[in-house]
Structure 1
Amino acid sequence: MFTGIVEETGKITKLEKAGSNLNIYVKADMTPELKIDQSVAHNGVCLTVVAIDGEEYTVTAVKETLEKTNLGKLKTGDRINLERGMKLGDRLDGHIVQGHVDQTATCTYKKEADGSWAYSFEYDPEIGNITIEKGSITINGVSLTVVNSQKNKFSVAIIPYTYEHTTFKDLKVGDTVNLEFDVIGKYVKRLTDLS
């Protein structure tokens, strides 16, 4: 389980196909503190550390993960949002994030807004996910608050700290992002769909 509070951005140093899987090599300051079998969120996707070598570690993404997230679009040199699993008893500074991406979205708008940044995203509503005005959403592993919630689109506001310390400053209109919708909202929707 995660909180959507990005610890740092890592750098993709190598991408290696292994059958239908992809081995992703990441250089990050946190690497010396990691251990084999540990869960780390990469742009919001929970992946298991399978190897550690100095400042670089390796995770493997399977075919389904590559098809349902933006990890298959990574290139060597890209930055990626990283968060280690939550410690029991720590503060929950973001919101409950599982590290299971529900679907991707496309960035449709990016503009500086008097000290902050405004972004808009569109997603396929046929999958059945919804946003809630002032509810939580995870975008590329970052816990954010939804504004302008509509059937297939929404917006978020990014403060300068988040802009500088995540991959949001790299994000361009047309880019694909990972979305994890609010887990409580998903359960409520599921229950109301059944009744």
Structure 2
Amino acid sequence: MFTGIIETLGTITNIEKEGDNFHFTIKSNITSELKIDQSVAHNGVCLTVVKIQGDEYTVTAIKETLDKSNFKYVKIGDVVNLERAMILGARLDGHIVQGHVDQTATCVNVVEEDGSWVYTFEYDKTYNNVTIEKGSITVNGTSLTVVNSIDNKFSVAIIPYTYENTNFHTFKNGSVVNLEFDVIGKYVARLLEKRN
């Protein structure tokens, strides 16, 4: 379990294909604190550390992960948001995040306002995921509050701290991001489906 509060950024330094799997090597300032078999969220995708060498570590993404996330587009030099699993008993500053990406979305608009940024994302509605005004959403692993929720589109407002300390500063029109919809909302939607 995660909170959606990004700890730090990592840089992809190597990508190796093995069958349908991809091994991603990441350079990060938290590498020395990691251990083999530890779960770390990368742009919101929970991946297991399989190798550590110096200030770099390696994780493996299977086909399912690649199909549902933006990891199929990641290249060497890209910056990813990193968060280690939550500590039991610690404050939950974001919201409950599983690290299971539901689908991707495309950034369709970025507006710089006086001291903040508003990003609008569009997603495929055939997956039956929904957002609600002032509800929680995870974008590339970052816990955010939805504004301007409509059928298959929503916006989020980003403060300077989040802009500088996540990979939001790299987003532009056409950027593909990972979405994890609010887990409570997903259960409610599923229960309503079963009643109909």
* 2:102 aligned residue: 102
CA distance in 2, matches of 1:149, 1:111: 16
The one-letter code sitting in structure 2 at the alignment partner of 1:84 is: R
The answer to whether structure 1 residue 150 and structure 2 residue 158 are counterparts is no
* 1:17 aligned residue: 17
CA distance in 1, matches of 2:49, 2:140: 19
CA distance in 1, matches of 2:122, 2:74: 20
The alignment's TM-score, normalised by the length of structure 1, stands at: 0.99
* 2:126 aligned residue: 126
* 1:47 aligned residue: 47
* 1:178 aligned residue: 178
* 1:187 aligned residue: 187
CA distance in 1, matches of 2:22, 2:96: 27
CA distance in 2, matches of 1:29, 1:174: 29
What secondary structure does 1:89 align onto? Answer: coil
CA distance in 2, matches of 1:13, 1:87: 28
Map Cα deviations across residues 79-107 of structure 1 (whole Å, 9 max, x no partner). Answer: 00000000000000000000000000000
What secondary structure does 1:185 align onto? Answer: helix
What secondary structure does 2:46 align onto? Answer: strand
Aligned residues: 195
Map Cα deviations across residues 1-28 of structure 1 (whole Å, 9 max, x no partner). Answer: 0000000000100011111100000000
What secondary structure does 2:147 align onto? Answer: coil
Structure 2: tracts of 5 or more residues without a match? none
* Alignment RMSD: 0.5
CA distance in 2, matches of 1:191, 1:56: 43
CA distance in 1, matches of 2:190, 2:74: 32
* 1:35 aligned residue: 35
The offset of 1:67, in angstroms, is: 1.2
Task: Find runs of 4+ consecutive structure 1 residues off by over 6 angstroms.
Answer: none
CA distance in 2, matches of 1:16, 1:116: 37
CA distance in 1, matches of 2:36, 2:151: 41
CA distance in 2, matches of 1:191, 1:181: 16
Structure 1: tracts of 5 or more residues without a match? none
The answer to whether structure 1 residue 67 and structure 2 residue 67 are counterparts is yes
What secondary structure does 2:161 align onto? Answer: helix
CA distance in 2, matches of 1:168, 1:124: 21
Pairs within 5 Å for 1:82-93: 82-93=82-93
The offset of 1:111, in angstroms, is: 1.4
